[in-house]
Chain A
């Protein structure tokens, strides 16, 4: 556990000592803020439902930038050799990188709570969908972060890691639109893999165990495959 703490501390410092984390957080807040303002003035409704959809699409776009360097950079600079030849388990290294990236995602998501506070100051928003929306954002953020870390563990090139992550996340996001074209067993299978299909209930105020299970399974699968990718050498 202490060892994990050491690794996590190093990863968090590495992320926050580079401008990448700050740039990603700033751009994310700027875009979500723009959506919030536009949506508020257009609909004049004290709700964040639209914002949660915007915020989740932006997670699809921003998380690859955060996770692309995690293993790719270490592999390219050779420091992965230092880590993997130290008496440390691969799983601890993966969890530390996942934890640090997720910390940035959580900061990013937490700062958007200021929009909920703005709503609360000037009206009485329904807090149920707001809470569930944030739970959904966090669950999806964790799943995407785990997949991003896994893809980063497969390549020494950060751009390749970012492009593949972005492609995979976008595909998973849009999967349900292609599902309508397919006959039933395939249709429901694709819908079950769709990020949007699992996120929509959270954004609209409904939390189902199956949606939790989906995001948790993707997170665990991503972490497991990242550990396997490191062990295969």
Chain B
């Protein structure tokens, strides 16, 4: 696989304030890269550098081999971008705005009309395409912003907090859209909502105070997850034997043992195994005090890296 996006040692100073420091990562075609970090961690600054809106203080970013600074026009031609606050020309009608953005990408005539129709269809904008953008709800405005980014079939799609302002149904649809789009291009998406990144992205770059702490691969082996279990029993060895005998339990670790209460961390291949564990432990005469889905892999990594520890 070739990398569509290569960010190499990006650093950005805003005057005396360091916003991004020495950030490097690559995104391949067909991949969704999530940038995850608390507010002010430098996510939007990185995206603005990748889209050519900001110049890096040092380091380079290349889109399909084109440097975003020295070959700005060529690089920007390959990028579709949805900024965080969904800026739009509210005095324009939806199709008028999409035609304007398409024309800036060099589309005209039948190709432009086809691109507008395709973008409207992909984000279900047909019902409002003749309305003034000023009259649209926040959710529709978000869709218009996404539609303009899709015009011209970009190689790299960059979305800054794309689920902001969308209702749950729209969020689910957007997730599906992003995953569908990723088959033909590379996607970089930011969010401060961990669960969003976990659902959308293949990999997550974890950022804090402008520094890239780690790039985490998100595995989706079925619905594998971790369980936290607390059991009341005289002998914790018997509890361990009971749990490990259940099919689907891949790993078992004793977290603590005190006053006949044993706390376990159990890795299972499917979340439903929790029900089997509960049934088997009860049948064996142990008192099940708690069974809960533990913090996910990404969540654990994020909290560990950002120095807050795993919230219990």
Contact = CB atoms under 8 A, between A and B. Distances in A.
Contacts of A88: 73, 76, 104
Given A2-B108, A3-B106, A81 B77 contact: no
A112 to B, nearest CB: 29
The residue in A2, A81, A86, A233 that gathers the most chain B C-beta atoms within 10 A of its C-beta is A86
Number of chain A interface residues as a range: 20 to 34
Interface stretch (A10-18, A116-124, A173-181, A206-214): A10-18
A81 B106 CA distance: 18
A17 B106 CA distance: 25
B55 interface: yes
A75 to B, nearest CB: 10
A86 B77 CA distance: 7
Interface in B172-199: none
Contacts of A23: none
B236 interface: no
B108 A79 contact: no
A78 B87 contact: yes
A81 B53 contact: yes
B4 to A, nearest CB: 16
A86 B104 contact: yes
A190 B55 CA distance: 38
B21 interface: no
Interface residues of B, number: 26
Contacts of A77: 87
Given A81-B53, A233-B53, A233-B54, A87 B106 contact: yes
Nearest to A14: B91
Contacts of B101: 82, 86
B42 interface: no
Nearest to A88: B104
B73 A10 contact: no
Contacts of B88: 79, 82
Interface of B: 48, 51-55, 73-74, 76-77, 79, 81, 83, 85, 87-89, 91, 100-101, 103-106, 108, 148
